[in-house]
Homo-oligomer: A and B are copies of this chain.
Amino acid sequence: MDNIIYGKNSVLEALISGEREINKILISKNLHSDAKLNKIKELAHKNGVVYQFVAKEKFQDYAEYNHQGVIAQISPIQYTDLDDFLGKSYNNASLVILDGVEDPHNLGAIIRTCVCAGVSGIIIPSRRNVLVNSIVEKTSAGAINHIPVIKVNSLVSAVQKLKNQDWWIIATDASAKDNYYNIDYCNMNSAIIMGAEHAGVSKSLLKLSDFIVKIPMMNDFNSLNVSNALSAIIFETIRQKLNNIKK
């Protein structure tokens, strides 16, 4: 079970203190509005914390808690702020952007791969993507402690910021013409966008990308797991960089 804070007062206090990293606030659809609930929504909005109105069935897992229809899911890690991340200097670095990865096991595996490959950070959106929870933490086998994870409310804004700081944006798409290994990763900071398991990278992000690449499929069966797809690409960047150093 994930860490949670439950009950209007506790959730409100957590928002006021700002000490806890909240992934998401669940609010029962049946709950009547009142001053405290309004304050929770106001502070959540101000702090960029997603809140969702959900059917009471969603609260069944939390039946043992006196939650009063309000639960905050707490992240096991502190997310890194994008501006703080971009405030450092990078030289021929890579970062990974996830656009709609829903399976926590995949996120955990991706985090492991990124740490092994020396990726500088992972950007995830606060909506329509799994956040770092206890399953992700466990699947990452401890890797989660070795890489900054940056949670943003808009991937489009984040990508625009990256472009302004001379990061090159590389999106993956099954219908791309170029293969991922035809890009030269040796003379740029590269941000690699991996899409949802089914839908792929969203159009608004594809438009912003400097390169769109695919992994060539040797079979009609075109269904590579997202963490395995990322692994092929990210270790190609390493191959190129290590070969380049040798020259």
Chain A residues with CB under 8 Å of chain B are 105, 109, 112-113, 115-118, 141-143, 146, 179, 181, 215-219, 221-225, 227-232, 234-236, 238-239, 242
* CB-based closest 10 A-B pairs: A118-B218, A232-B235, A228-B231, A231-B231, A116-B224, A181-B239, A115-B221, A113-B228, A109-B225, A231-B232
Given contacts A105-B105, A239-B236, A116 and B146 within 8 Å (CB-CB): no
Residues from chain B with a CB closer than 8 A to the CB of A116 are: 215, 217-219, 221-224
Residues from chain B with a CB closer than 8 A to the CB of A117 are: 218-219
Residues from chain B with a CB closer than 8 A to the CB of A141 are: 223, 225
- The answer to whether B216 touches A143 (Cβ under 8 A) is no
Given contacts A231-B231, A231-B232, A232-B231, A238 and B225 within 8 Å (CB-CB): no
| Measured CA separation A215–B227 after assembly (Å) | 16
Residues from chain B with a CB closer than 8 A to the CB of A227 are: 109, 225, 227-228
Query: Chain B: which residue is nearest A145 at the CB level?
Result: B221
- The answer to whether A112 touches B181 (Cβ under 8 A) is no
